[in-house]
Amino acid sequence: MKVKNALLIIDAQFDFCNPKGSLFVEGADADMKRLAAWIKTNKHKIGHITLTLDNHPVNDISHPSFWHDAGGNFPKPFTPISANDIHMGKWVPRFFREEAIHYVESLEEQGEFGHYIWPYHCLIGSHGASIDKTIMEALIEWSWDGKYYHTILKGTNPLTEHFGVFRANIPIPGQPETQLNEQLIDSLRKFDTIFLAGEARSHCVANSLKQVMDEAPSLIEKLVILDDCMSDVAGMGHLGIPIFERAREIGIRFSSTKAALSK
């Protein structure tokens, strides 16, 4: 009998999930232990696993070195940058000025997530971008009977952030890596149930959920949120609350790793 359960893991990476990571999400280490144990317990009931991996260049629009003030100083992590800040000269993009202004203005027009500077994280090829060790061990055991997990890179374009797994926050014309990932949607559509887990609940999980509701409605009835396998960026949990409330209102299922899989 073909296994009809899929698992989509968002950004289970060292920098987010390990206390020594540059953008550690408090609680993520425990989340990953629960998720890894769940994978091992249900390894014969999970037919497909896809992991998204955040990957950024150093001079990413969300990193300090992309910006400077009048004195040439880089902003500190968790500094908000508004379009007005840019127009007033408080913060100046060091690269691609027009594109950077367009990005920040477009975020503000969406009215959900403003632009913040993050610590350098998940740099391309770095240890910080690697899969969390606990999850990696579970993936290896899950694979032993002939299955193959899949990985999808996101965030590689320096001129737009890529919170949600299905597309960048602001897609860039002519840049396919920022556009809606129809191939990923099609691959998940084949399964009866899609379990969603990962980090961070307030940002990448919330945005992925929103993208399902807005742009991949065929997945809505299949989706199950493993809500004990995700945590918020400290002080920013409020950003994801409206998205999760909307998901509950339209009937998206929520569960935990304590619930047994029946098949």
Exposure string for 172-193, b = 16+ CB within 10 A, e = fewer: beeeebbebbeebbebbeebeb
Contacts (Cβ under 8 Å, ≥6 apart) of 111: none
Using an 8 Å Cβ cutoff, are 165 and 152 in contact?
A: yes
Residue 1 pLDDT grade (very low, low, confident, very high; cuts 50, 70, 90): very low
0.85 exceeded by the pTM?
yes
Question: Six-digit token pair at 145?
Answer: 């009977």
Cα distance between residue 31 and residue 36, in whole Å: 9
> Quick one: pLDDT at residue 3?
72
> Quick one: pLDDT at residue 178?
97
Q: What is the DSSP letter of 250?
A: T
Q: What is the DSSP letter of 61?
A: T
Using an 8 Å Cβ cutoff, are 257 and 37 in contact?
A: yes
Q: pLDDT digits over 136-186, tens only?
A: 999 999 999 999 999 999 999 999 999 999 999 999 999 999 999 999 999
Domains parsed from the chain with CATH numbers: 5-58+123-255 (3.40.50.850), 64-116 (no CATH)
Alpha-carbon dihedral sign for residues 171, 172, 174, 176: negative
Q: pLDDT digits over 9-45, tens only?
A: 999 999 999 999 999 999 999 999 999 999 999 999 9
Strands of 22-128, DSSP E: 48-54, 67-68, 80-81, 92-93, 115-116
Alpha-carbon dihedral sign for residues 182, 39, 231, 23: negative
Q: pLDDT digits over 49-82, tens only?
A: 999 999 999 999 999 999 999 999 999 999 999 9
Q: CA 188: distance to chain centroid?
A: 17
Q: What is the DSSP letter of 56?
A: B
Q: CA 13: distance to chain centroid?
A: 10
